[in-house]
Homo-oligomer: A and B are copies of this chain.
C-alpha cells in the first residue's frame, strides 16, 4: 500500500512540479511509476509538458509505455524518436508486445528491429506476426514452458530449478508430445501439491481450455471471462502448441472493446488523444458532424413540406422539439439495450420477435402515458383541445416507430457486419426526427386546418 500511495502521490507531485517548472525531483518520482501509470500520466498532459516528461522516461521503459498509450499519442511520440531509439525500445519488449509494436513502425524501422533480434526471437516474432493482430495468434506470447507427459514431477521440478525464473503470469506448464502436439496443462500448484514420483501424464489437466490461433480476440476475451482463466494455450490447426495468452492482455482487450463502444456512439475514435492538435481533432469530428447534417437537412425538408400549416398554427413549431426528442430518447433506450445484447451474443433468430413485442409494448405504454401528459399541457398552454389530440397522437406514433427502429436498425447493421454502436444512433435519430416531425405536422394539417 505504501508503495501505491507513493506512486499516486508521485503523479500529483509530478503534475505540481511540472506546473511550477521545477523539474529536478520529477525524474525520481517518475521512476516509482509502472509503464501503464506513466502512459496514463502522459495522456493527461498537454503536448508541451508531455514532451518534457517523455524525455525523462528511462529508455528501458520506452517500449512498454508506448504500448500502453492510445494510437494518437503513441504516433505523435514515436515521430519524435530516431531509428536507434525505436530499436532500443523494441528490444526491451516481450514477443507479443513486440508484435503489437512493430505494427506501428515504419517499414524501414521494422527491418532494423528484426535485424537487432537474435535468430530465435526473430523466428518467434515472425510466428506471431503471421496471424491477424485481432486473433488469438496475434495476441499470444511464445514464451511457453513445455514438459513431456512421461516424466515425474520430481524431474519437472529439477528442470525448473535449473531453468530458473519463469515467464510472467505462468500459472501452468504445457504438456506436449515430441511433435509439439498439445496434450494438456500442468498447473504449478499441482506440481507443488502432488507426489514427487507421480507422472506428468497422470497429474496434468486435459480438460483445460485451449484456444485455436484463428479465434477472434472477442471470443478469446469471452472464454477467459466465462471460464475464469489466467492463461491458456494457443494451438494451430494441427493442434501444435504455438504460444499462450495471459489474462493481462485479455484485460486490455476488454477495456479497449468497452471504450470502443462508448466512443463510437459519439462518432469518436477510442484512441483519440484528449490533447490532440486542434486541426486533426477538428477534421475527424467534422466527418461525423457532416453525416449528421445530411440527416438533419432530411428532417428539415419534412418540416419544409408543411410551411403553410406552420405559418397558420405556429404552436406546431413550438411542439416539434418535444415530439422528436421523446422519440429519440425512447429509441435510444431500445438501441442501447440491443447494442449490449448483440455484443454479448444474446440476440438471435430464436428471440428477436419476443423482444420486439416487449419493446413495442413498453413503447406503447410510455407513448400513451406521455401523450396524455403532453396533450394536457398543450391544451392548457395553447387552449386548443384539437392541438392536444394532434400532439398526443404524434407522440404515440413516434414512440412506436422509435421502438421499431431501436430493434431493426441494430439488427440490420449487425447482419451486414457494421458495428451498431458506430452508426446506430445517427440512423435511429434520423428515423425519430423525420417520423416525429411528419406525424405531428401531417396530423396537424389534417385535423387543425
A1 at the interface (CB under 8 A from B): yes
Q: Tell me whether A170 is interfacial, beta carbon within 8 Å.
A: yes
Distance of A226 Cα from B32 Cα, bound (Å): 13
Cross-interface CB contact of A19 among B171, B265, B295, B350, cutoff 8 Å: B350
Does residue A286 face the partner (Cβ distance < 8 Å to B)?
Answer: yes
Smallest CB separation, A345 vs chain B (Å): 7
Check if A40 sits within 8 Å of B362, measured CB to CB.
Answer: no
CB nearest to A206 among chain B residues? B3
Given the interface pairs A274-B346, A358-B278, the reply to whether A320 lies near B321 with Cβ below 8 Å is yes
- Stretch in contact with the other chain, from A100-108, A127-135, A190-198, A411-419: A190-198
Instruction: Render A140-180 as a binary contact track against B, CB cut-off 8 A, 1 for contact.
Output: 00000000000000000100110111101111000000000
- Chain A, residues 361-391, CB within 8 Å of chain B (1/0): the string is 1100110011001100100010000000000
A330 touches B289 (CB 8 A): yes
Judge whether B310 and A161 touch: CB under 8 Å.
Answer: no
A114 is an interface residue with CB less than 8 A from chain B: no
A320 smallest CB distance to B (angstroms): 7
In the assembled complex, the Cα of A46 lies from the Cα of B226 at a distance in Å of: 22
The answer to whether A244 has its CB under 8 Å from any CB of chain B is no
A340 interfacial contact with B, CB 8 Å:
yes
The complex places the Cα of A49 from the Cα of B225 at a distance, in Å, of: 25
Query: How many angstroms from the CA of A321 to the CA of B254 in the assembled complex?
Result: 37
A120 in contact (CB, < 8 A)? no
- Check A292–B329 contact: CB distance below 8 A: yes
Contacts of A252 in B (CB 8 A): 225
A277: min CB distance to chain B, Å: 9
Of A194, A266, A337, the most chain B CB neighbours within 10 A belong to A266
Contact A292 B354 (CB under 8 A): no
Q: Give a binary string over A1-45; 1 marks a CB under 8 Å from any B CB, 0 the rest.
A: 101100000000001101100000000000000101100100111
A227 and B36 contacting across the interface, CB-CB below 8 Å: yes
Q: Is A210 engaged at the interface, CB distance under 8 Å to the other chain?
A: yes
When C-beta atoms are compared, the residue in chain B nearest to A164 turns out to be B193
Assess the B169–A228 pair: CB atoms within 8 A.
Answer: yes
Alpha-carbon gap, A267 to B336, bound state (A): 10
Which residues of B sit under 8 angstroms from A139, Cβ to Cβ?
Answer: none
Q: Are B160 and A192 in contact (CB under 8 A)?
A: yes
Q: Which of A51-59, A83-91, A298-306 contacts B (4 or more CB under 8 A)?
A: A298-306
What residue of chain B has the Cβ atom nearest to residue A363's Cβ?
Answer: B282
Q: Which residues of B contact A295 (CB under 8 A)?
A: 325
- Residues of B within 8 Å of A207, CB to CB, are 3
Sample of 19 further A-B pairs with CB below 8 A, known A40-B346, A266-B333, A289-B329? A36-B227, A45-B351, A46-B351, A161-B192, A166-B189, A170-B189, A171-B171, A171-B188, A225-B251, A263-B336, A266-B329, A266-B337, A274-B346, A275-B351, A275-B354, A300-B321, A307-B315, A310-B310, A310-B314
A-B contact pairs, 17 of them (CB 8 A): A1-B212, A3-B209, A40-B226, A44-B345, A161-B192, A191-B192, A225-B255, A247-B247, A250-B251, A259-B340, A263-B337, A263-B340, A266-B337, A300-B321, A304-B381, A314-B317, A321-B433
